Amino acid sequence: GTGYTHLHEFAGGVDDGAYPMGDLTRIGEVFYGMTTQGGANNLGTVFRVNAEGTGHTNLHSFAGYPHDGAGPPGSLTLDGSTLYGMTQQGGTNPKKLGTVFRMRTDGSDYSVLHSFGGGAGDGATPLGSLTLANGALYGMTSVGGASNYCVLFRLNTDGTGYTNVHTFTVSPGDGSGPRGSLVLEGATLYGMTYYGGTGNKGVMFALTGLPESP
């Protein structure tokens, strides 16, 4: 518990982020993360910094609607040399309900894979992070779906095949309002919701039967 050190103090502005959320993702001696504000448009950043605190670089400044997301709420998910993440705002949809995006670890090839639109067939305003399972991305949104209580969704890593795997209903037998991320163990995804269950105080759930790689 000794030896606490500030490795980087966020300052906001064009060259730095501000108000980080989620966790750091480590690749060797480099950490990757996201901030909800700061950057060129003050809409959040993806950054990298060396493990000893040197070499901080903004790899991407979110630009918001109509071409980009804004305000990432969680952590980055690594697959090889590709990073995947979500934003809770922005996107190509005028409702600005968030995005799924990907980029290379060097900051190149940034693209929006999915812009959330809400309604019965889509989620909206994601929270938490993405989980990679059987070659596809899984995540949760805080609203959207047939009942507008949130969804658990699946998306191929190239942005195709968006599907609402489960639409939460906030009934005694279901949850609602997930705030975190999914955890993969074997062929099962585990998660939690803030509301739902018999006392409407939240549930822990498991999802099995995941399809094979796309």
Strand partners, 104: 82
Q: What angle do CA 205, 149, 75 make, to 5 degrees?
A: 65
What does pTM read for this prediction?
0.96
Using CB atoms within 10 Å of the CB of residue 41, give its burial: 0 to 12 exposed, 13 to 18 middle, 19+ buried. Answer: middle
Inter-residue contact 191 to 140 (CB < 8 Å): yes
Q: What is the pLDDT of residue 123?
A: 96
DSSP state of 151: E
Using CB atoms within 10 Å of the CB of residue 145, give its burial: 0 to 12 exposed, 13 to 18 middle, 19+ buried. Answer: buried
CA distance 151 to 56: 35
Q: State the virtual CA torsion across 101, 75, 49, 104 in degrees, nearest 10.
A: -30
Q: What is the pLDDT of residue 171?
A: 81
Q: What is the pLDDT of residue 98?
A: 98
DSSP state of 97: B
From the first residue on, what is the mean pLDDT of each consecutive set of 10 residues in the chain (214 residues)?
Answer: 90 97 96 98 98 97 98 97 98 96 98 97 96 97 92 97 94 89 96 94 94 79
Q: What is the pLDDT of residue 67?
A: 96
Q: What is the pLDDT of residue 172?
A: 87
CA distance 154 to 138: 5
Closest CA to 45 of 80, 10, 81: 10
Give just the sign of the alpha carbon dihedral 198, 168, 97, 99.
positive
Inter-residue contact 97 to 113 (CB < 8 Å): no
Q: What is the pLDDT of residue 214?
A: 72
Please give the C-alpha separations between residue 52 and each of 11, 48, 99, in angstroms, as whole numbers.
18, 12, 31
